[in-house]
Structure 1
C-alpha cells in the first residue's frame, strides 16, 4: 500500500469521528478568534456543564430482558397463526366458482397436453406435462399485469413507524383483479392456481410465510426499514463548519466528502427539467406465493412460478432467496390443497434447512411439539392418507438426511446435528471426542463432532441442587473461570450419583448448617420424613413442640443476591396426622376471624350509608 492510499484512509477514518462538541461550539466559525478569559473558575464551571451535556447526550444502552424475548416469541407465534389463516382464506377464494372463466385464455392445445392420454409412455406424458406448464406460464405473463408490490419481509421498525406499504385485499377486490387481470404478484400467483384448478389439474397454493422474527438484530437495524430510502445522507460535522448555508448536501457533495475533493457552491444552481417517471414496484426476485402441480405420470408435485423463468419449473432450488435479500425470507413454507389440507414443505425448497431452523420454533424445547400440534389440525388425517403422501414424506425425509456438514463456520453454530469446539458454551463438553469430519479454516483444520456427543457439565454445587453428588476421586471434564469464585471444576452426569439423605432417627429431622433441610428434588426427602406444604404447618409444629425443619426448594436471585425459597416444613411421618389436624383447625379459626372482621366492617359501612342517607333526607326537607 502506498503512502497516499494510507493517508487517504486515515483521513476518512478521522472524518467519521464524532467529536461530541456542543451545538454552541459547532455553530461558530472554525477560524474565529476568541478573547482570552483568565477567569479559571468560570472555565471550570463551563467544562463541568459541557461534561454534563455529553453525559446527557449519550444514548441509553439497549438491555434485552427475558420478558422482551418472551414477548417477541409470542408475537412470532401469533404472526405465524395469522399468516396461516391468511393462506387458508386465499386458498378458499381460489376455489370460487366465478374464477372458472379464467380458463378461456388457455389455448386448446395446452389443455390437451395437461391431460395426456394414459396409453402413452411415462416419459412422453411427463414431457408433455412439463411443456404445457411452461406454455401456460407464458400465456399467463402476457395476460396478467403487475400494478403494485406484494408481501415482503416485515421489520419491527416498519411496524413502529407505520411504513408498511401493503394494503389489505377483500374478496371483492380479488374478484375484480381476476376480471381485470391486474394486481400484485401474489394475487397473480393465486389466480394462476385458480386457473390450474379450473383446468382440473390438482394444484396446491404455496406460501413462504414472512413472519416477524423472534430474534433481536440490534437497535440500528430494528429502527429502519429495508426499503430503499430517498432521503439525503446526514451531514458531516466538518462540512457543516465549512458550509455557507444550512441546506442539506446533495449526492455530489457526499461524493466530494468521500474523495476529499474541494467543491465550490453556486449561487444560482441549474436544475434539470422534471421528468415524469413511471412508478416502480420493488419486489424480491424470488416469489412469496407460487403453485405446486401434481404430475400424475411421475406421482410427484412440481413447483411452478407463473412469473418466473421456464427453467424454474420443477426446480425447487430456484425458489430460495439469498440471505442478503431484505425483502424476502424463507423460514416456513406451507402448501395447501384445494380441499384445505396443509403441509409443511420447507425442506423441499431450502438447501440449508438446519441453518434456517435457527429462525424457526424448533430451536426451542417446546417448538417442535407446538408446531406439530398446530399443523396436525390442518394436515390430511391418517384414515385418508394416500400413497402419494407417503412418497412425498419419504422425499422430504431424504432431503433432510442428505444435508451434509456445512462449509461455513457460522452455519455450524447451534447446528442440531454437528458441532465444533469453538461454539461450545461454558457448560458444554464433547465426550467422547470421535470426529465425523474436518473443516479448513484460517486457523487451521478443525474437527467436526456429532451433536449427540455434546454433554452438559455443571459444578458440584449445581449437581447437588439437581439431587446428585459427585463421585469421590473423580476428575472434572472441564474447568470454568468465574470472577468471584475463580476456577470452578465441572462434572458430567455420569460422574455423579443420586443423593441419598440421612434418615429420620428418633423423630429428629436431619438439618443443614443453617437449621433447614435441602429439598431441591423429591429424592432428597429423608426416609421416614413427611413434607407438609400447608400454610399453617410451621405454626402447628411450634404449638405441638415437634422437631421440624424448613424446606429449601430453590433460590431466588435478585440484583446478584441469592435468597432461599422456603416451601413448607419437613417432620417425622409419625406426626403427620396430628400436624394436619392442628393446621386445619388453625385454618378454620383464621377463616372465622376473617369472617367476623368482614362482617364487622360491613356493618360499619352499612351504618355509614344509613347515616349519610338520613343527613341527605334532612337537608332535602329543610332546604328544598
Structure 2
C-alpha cells in the first residue's frame, strides 16, 4: 500500500470520528465488558440513543404561511413610503440657497454652452448642451471625493446584523458636505443636482428605490444576502473591509473536519475594522442620479456625475444586472425643483414587465394603491405642459414597444404574454390564438396573449359561487384528484345563474341534509326571508313554523370541511312575527343574565363581609 493510499484512509478516519458528542463514549454498551448471551431466541438489543445520534439531523424547512407573505408585503409598502419621503427630503435640501455657491467651480464657457442662444439651430444647441454636461461631470468628479459607501440593496439578514445600514444625515451634515465636497456617492449626486439648479437649468433628482422585497426567493427567504457567506454575522466585517470581496472565505462545507486543524499563512487575529481604512464597495450602477432638461429637444437628459462620459443621455446604461446584490431596479422616481414626483421606471429598464414581478402591480390591488399614492405627489393636471405630454407619450411608447421575452423565466407571470407550461391548475387558454413562438429545450412553444387566459372551476365550485353548469357544456380542462379522480372544469360563460326553487305553502326547500345553501344572495328562494338574528332558530321553534339553517360557507381545518351556519331561512310572511319573538327572547335572556350577575355580586359581597368579620374577630382575640 502506498503512502498516498494510507494517507487517504487516515483522512477518512479523521473525518468519520466525531468528538462533538462525548456522552457517547461513556456508554456501558460500548466500552464495559458484558456477559455473553447465547440465547438465539432473543433479538439483539441496540441502544436506540446511539442509533438516534448516528442519524443525520433533518434540516429545518422554511414554512412560509399566508401571514408571512402579508407581513412582508406590508413591510414592502411601508419601506416604499419611507424611501419616497427620503427622496423628497433630499430634494428639498437641494433647493437651499446656500448651495448656489457650488457654481463657482464652473467656467464661464460651460455656462454659456448650457444656455446656448435660441437663434442657433436645434442641432447646434443640442450638441452644445450635451458637451457642456459632459464637461460638467468631469469637473465634478475632480472636486468631489467619495469617502464612504452609499445606499444599497437591503436584505433581511443584513438588516438584523446592522452591517449594511447607512448613518443618518441631517441637513447640517449635508451643507457641510457641500463645503468640504466629500461624502458618499448618493450625496455627491444630490449636490450635483443643486449645482445644475444653481446654473438655472431645470434639474430633477432621480432615485432608484432599494426596497425590501415582498418575495421569498433564494437567500432572501432565509434572510441572507447571496454576496456573503452562510454565517453573515461572523463574516460580514471581513466582507465589508476586504479589498477584494471574492477573497472572503466561502461557506463551511457540510462535512466538518473536526480533528485536523489547518493553519493559514496570515495571522488569525483580526484587528478592529476601525484600524484599517474602509474599502468602498458600491454597485457599478448608481442609485441616485440627475436629469437635466434640454430645452432644444424638449426632453430630459440623464446624467451620472460619477459615471462614464458616454452614459450621459443613455438611459440603458443605468440599469443594473439582475445578479447585482447591491443594486436592484424596481421603482425609479424623479422629483423636480417644484417637488413634483414622477415614475420614470419605463425609461431606464429594457424589460419593464420583467421587473414588474418585484413591483406592487403584480397584485390585484397594487396598481390602485400605487396610483393613489403617487397622485398626491405628481404634478396637477392644470400645470401640465407640452414637455410633460411628450414625456408621457415617450414612456407609453417604451412600454408598448417591449415585445415577447426571449427567456422562458421572463414569461412566467408576465402581464401581457403567457405559455401553457406556466398556467395554473384552474387556468386555460381559450381561444388558442398564438401571437408568437419561442424556442426551448423541449422544442418550439406557442406564446399567447394574457387576455386569453381564463379561469375554470368545477361544477361544485361554481355552485358555491351561485352558478350552475349549462346542460351539455363540455369541460375545457380536467383536474386530477387523489380521491375524486378526474374533475371536469368549466369557464364562466359555460354556466348560468342559479335559480332556486321558490317557497310553496310556507315550506322552505331544503337540501339532502335538511339545510339550505345560501352562498350568494341570488340563492335565496323567492318568497323566503333570511333572518340572521342570534335567537332566530329558537323563535322559529316557538312559532312552530318551517325553517332551514342557512349554510353560507365552509370552514376547512385539518383537511376537513365543516359547514358554517349564518341564521335561518323562513317564509317571508313570518318575518315580523319572527323578529318580534326573537327580540323578546333576547330581552328575556338579558334579564336572566342581569339577575345572575346581581346574584353573583351579592354572593361576592357576602363573602367579602364574612371575611372582614372573621379578620376583625381574630384581631380582637389574638391581636
Q: Name the TM tier (shorter chain).
A: 0.7 to 0.9
Partner residue of 1:140? Answer: 140
Work out the CA distance in 2 between the residues paired with 1:613 and 1:203. Answer: 82
Match of 1:579 in 2: 578
Name the SS of the counterpart of 2:324 in structure 1: coil
> If the length of structure 2 is used for normalisation, what is the TM-score?
0.87
1:463 aligned residue? 462
SS in 1 for 2:206: strand
Residue number in structure 1 paired with 2:301: 302
Cα contact 1:155–1:222 (8 A) shared by 2: no
Q: 5+ residue gaps in structure 1?
A: 1-10, 251-268
Instruction: Name the CA shift for 1:42/1:154 in 2 (closer, same or farther; >3 Å).
Output: farther
C-alpha distance in structure 2 between counterparts of 1:26 and 1:133, whole Å: 73
SS of alignment partner, residue 488 of structure 2 = strand
Q: Contact 1:210 / 1:329 at 8 angstroms: preserved in 2? A: yes
| Post-superposition offset of 1:19 | 7.6
Q: Give the Cα–Cα distance (whole angstroms) in 1 for the partners of residues 490 and 598 of structure 2.
A: 60
Partner Cα distance (1:219, 1:113) in 2 = 50
- Name the residue aligned to 2:3: none
1:30-45 pair list within 5 angstroms: 44-45=45-46
2 CA distance for matches of 1:609 and 1:92? 67
Q: Distance between the aligned counterparts of 2:117 and 2:618, measured in 1?
A: 100
Structure 1 distance, partners of 2:428, 2:198, is 58
CA positional deviation for 1:392? 1.1
> Residues 50, 34 of structure 1: CA spacing in aligned structure 2 closer, same or farther, 3 A cutoff?
closer
Residue pair 1:335, 1:344 contacting (<8 A) in 2 also: yes
Instruction: Name the SS for the 2:313 alignment partner.
Output: coil
Distance 1:420 1:557 in 2: 33
- Secondary structure at the aligned position of 1:23 is classed as coil
Please tell me whether the aligned partners of residues 62 and 219 of structure 1 are also in contact (alpha carbons under 8 angstroms): no
Moved more, 473-482 or 504-513: 473-482
Secondary structure of the residue that 1:240 maps to in structure 2?
coil
2:20 paired residue among 7, 23, 36: 23
Could you give the per-residue CA deviations for residues 219-263 of structure 1, whole angstroms, max 9, x where no partner exists? 6863423455536446668782672xx35x64xxxxxxxxxxxxx
Query: By how many angstroms is 1:84 displaced?
Result: 0.7
Q: How does 1:165-180 map to 2 (within 5 A)?
A: 165-180=165-180
Question: Is the Cα contact below 8 Å between 2:417 and 2:449 reproduced in 1?
Answer: yes
Change (3 A) 1:219 1:484: farther
Shift in alpha-carbon separation, 1:42–1:299, aligned structure 2, 3 A: farther
Q: Distance in 1 between matches of 2:282 and 2:599?
A: 72
In structure 1, the residue matched to 2:348 is: 349
SS of alignment partner, residue 99 of structure 1: helix
Is the 8 Å Cα contact of residues 19 and 258 (structure 2) preserved in structure 1?
Answer: no
Residues 382 and 66 of structure 1: is their aligned pair in 2 closer, same or farther, counting only changes over 3 Å?
A: same
Deviation of 1:58 after TM superposition, in Å, equals: 2.1
CA distances 1:4-23 after superposition (whole Å, capped 9, x unpaired): xxxxxxx9xx99xx989673
Query: In the alignment, what sits opposite 2:312?
Result: 313
1:282-431 correspondence to structure 2 within 5 Å: 282-431=281-430
The DSSP-based 3-state class of the residue aligned with 1:168 is: coil
Report if the CA contact (8 A) 1:208-1:331 is conserved: yes
- In structure 2, relative to structure 1, the CA distance for the partners of 1:61 and 1:237 (3 Å cut) is closer
Distance in 1 between residues matched to 2:128 and 2:330, nearest whole Å: 33
Q: Provide the secondary structure at the position in 1 that maps to 2:566.
A: strand
Moved more, 205-214 or 112-121: 112-121
State the shift of 1:52 in Å: 2.4
Any conservation in 1 of the 2:303–2:312 contact (CA below 8 Å)?
yes
TM-score by length of 1: 0.87
Q: Distance in 2 between matches of 1:20 and 1:478?
A: 57
Specify the alignment match of 1:263 in structure 2. Answer: none
For 1:136 and 1:517, the matched residues in 2 are separated by: 77
Mapping of residues 226-305 of structure 1, within 5 Å = 226-228=226-228, 229=235, 230=238, 232-233=249-250, 240=257, 243=260, 246-247=261-262, 250=264, 278-305=277-304
| Matching residue of 2:206 | 206
1:52-106 Cα offsets, whole Å, 9 max, x none, are 2356832322111111111111111111111111111111111112111111111
Over 3 Å counting, the alpha-carbon distance change for 1:337 and 1:594 in structure 2 is: farther
Distance in 2 of aligned mates of 1:611 and 1:461: 65
1:453 corresponds to which residue?
Answer: 452
Q: Is 1:589 aligned to residue 588 of structure 2? A: yes
Distance 1:175 1:509 in 2: 79
1:61 aligns with 2:61: yes
CA distance in 2, matches of 1:311, 1:535: 74
Tell me how far apart the structure 1 counterparts of residues 560 and 584 of structure 2 sit (CA, whole Å).
38
Q: CA deviation at 1:117?
A: 1.4
Deviations 1:358-381 (A, max 9, x none): 111111111111111111111111
**Structure 1 residues 38 and 604: alpha-carbon distance in aligned structure 2, compared to 1, 3 A threshold:** closer
**1:609 positional shift:** 6.2
- Deviation, 1:465, is 0.6
In structure 2, what is the Cα distance between the partners aligned to 1:87 and 1:607? 68
CA distance in 2, matches of 1:312, 1:26: 65
- Equivalent-residue separation in structure 2 for 1:490 and 1:468 (angstroms): 13
State the shift of 1:125 in Å.
1.2
Question: SS at 2:555's partner residue?
Answer: strand
Q: Cα RMSD between the aligned structures?
A: 3.2
Distance 2:287 2:250 in 1: 32
Closer, same or farther: CA 395–611 of 1 in aligned 2, 3 Å: farther
After superposition, the Cα gap between the structure-2 partners of 1:184 and 1:553, relative to the gap in structure 1 and judged at 3 Å, is: same
In the alignment, what sits opposite 1:555?
554
Is the contact between residue 516 and residue 551 of structure 1 (CA under 8 Å) also seen in structure 2? yes
Q: Distance in 1 between matches of 2:68 and 2:199?
A: 50
1:115 aligned residue: 115
